[in-house]
Structure 1
């Protein structure tokens, strides 16, 4: 009879054959478990880094926004100050323009020429009373210091009229009422003649456009002048 042999493998032999496969399986398992442990950690690091970055970004943005807001506030305040200053300057300019307009306008009844106002009196009187009438109105008898002014005075007078020229202080030394000596002259021919040694005051309109000396007590119209 044939004997039946049951082949029984040596456990050690079996272990030696299967151990490479088992070793590989355990290695994969360990790698898998290690990956499972490391991946969430790395994700956490990435998330934390992202959160930190966002935090820094928003902080910087907030800081910049605050700085820009402060700048805007400062600019707005400066603009308001400039606007207030401009308003004040505008009011001051308007006030000065009003004063200038008042000063460049002659009173009623006066005539404006260049930078002065002139008044031809409606009444007549002596040279001294004529001058007092002028000074009472903040003016004085006219001082003629240019050909244009001479022509203007002639244009507003139709009769003899006193002007602010005399030699009352010293005979033969003609001076204007403002103290200036006589330089520009419009004497009529053969004038001044100091007729009777009593003619110390000057009138305009003699022979139409010229000057003549006469007695200060004589009665004539007069011309006042005051600066604007």
Structure 2
């Protein structure tokens, strides 16, 4: 008993005499508390900076996304324009090829036409030589004159158009048919007064044709002619043509008028 009390007293004395451990423990708790507080503050500051960074990043990301979207739209528009230009270029290429093809075909046709023209010119020269040779050997009856490949006779009397044609037929000829400018010029020199030619519209008014049945193509009508007498009963129907001496043009008059005539025949 006494021994236990002595030990207990000694422990109490030890606790009272050595208060240092309690003080150290309190200091350690204070240091840890300050450390944790510092960590918390640091984490708080870090969180604030992180939040600011996130907000800033979100702002820049939004702007960047808008910029990227705008650039994407520009890219799509550019691609669309490139596609359209490509289609236009393809269409223009097809048109160019078509034009080149047509140009080539036209060039070939022109070349062929040039060859035909040269051949025709050569044949024409040969025909002229033959006509000249033929004119040299052509023999027209007495009183007839020759021009080109025909013989012509200017009548020495006057008569109606029908009488003139009968006379020509009796001579194995017919009233003259004018089918080229040279022949018109020749007859202008041959005739000195108004003279019947083989042109009429007896069968159908206004449908003029030659005595050999060919339609009227070459025309030397005087101004305002033919006029079929302009409806004046003094002149009656004007269905036969003659060369006028005044200006070598053609005019229609009544077939009953009395005029000299020109016969034509091929020997």
TM-score range, shorter chain: 0.5 to 0.7
Decide whether the 8 Å contact of 1:186 with 1:210 is kept in 2.
Answer: yes
Alpha-carbon distance in 1 for matches of 2:196, 2:165: 9
Displacement of 1:226: 0.1
249, 256, 259: which is aligned to 1:217? Answer: 256
SS of 1:135's equivalent in the other structure is helix
- Cα distance in 2 for partners of 1:117, 1:175 equals 21
Q: Indicate conservation of the 8 Å contact 2:135/2:147, yes or no.
A: no
Distance in 2 of aligned mates of 1:168 and 1:180 = 14
* Matches for 1:127-206 after TM superposition, within 5 Å: 127-195=161-229, 196=232, 198-206=237-245
CA shift, 1:206, in A, is: 4.7
CA distance in 2, matches of 1:147, 1:104: 21
Deviations 1:160-210 (A, max 9, x none): 000000000000000100000000000011111100450000001253210
Q: Does residue 1:121 correspond to 2:162, yes or no?
A: no
Q: TM-score, normalized by length of structure 1?
A: 0.54
Q: Distance in 1 between matches of 2:221 and 2:257?
A: 19
* Aligned partner of residue 132 in structure 1, secondary structure: helix
1:188 touches 1:206 (CA, 8 Å); kept in 2?
no
Q: d(CA) in 1 for partners of 2:182 and 2:135?
A: 24
- Aligned partner of 1:58 in structure 2 is none
Structure (1 or 2) with the greater strand fraction:
1
SS of equivalent to 1:151: helix
Rounded Cα–Cα distance in structure 2 between residues aligned with 1:227 and 1:127? 21
* Higher helix proportion (structure 1 or 2): 2
1:70 aligned partner: none
* SS at structure 1 position matched to 2:193: coil
1:111 to 139, 142, 145: 145
Could you tell me how far 1:217 is from its partner in structure 2? Answer: 0.3
How much has 1:104 moved relative to structure 2?
1.5
Q: Which runs of 4 or more aligned residues in structure 1 lie more than 6 Å from their structure 2 counterparts after TM superposition?
A: 100-103
**SS at the partner of 1:221?**
coil
Name whichever of 199-208 and 211-220 sits farther off: 199-208
Question: How far apart are the structure 2 equivalents of 1:137 and 1:103?
Answer: 21
Q: TM-score, normalised by structure 2?
A: 0.46
Q: Tell whether the 8 Å contact from 1:168 to 1:200 is kept in structure 2 after alignment.
A: yes
SS at match of 1:150: helix
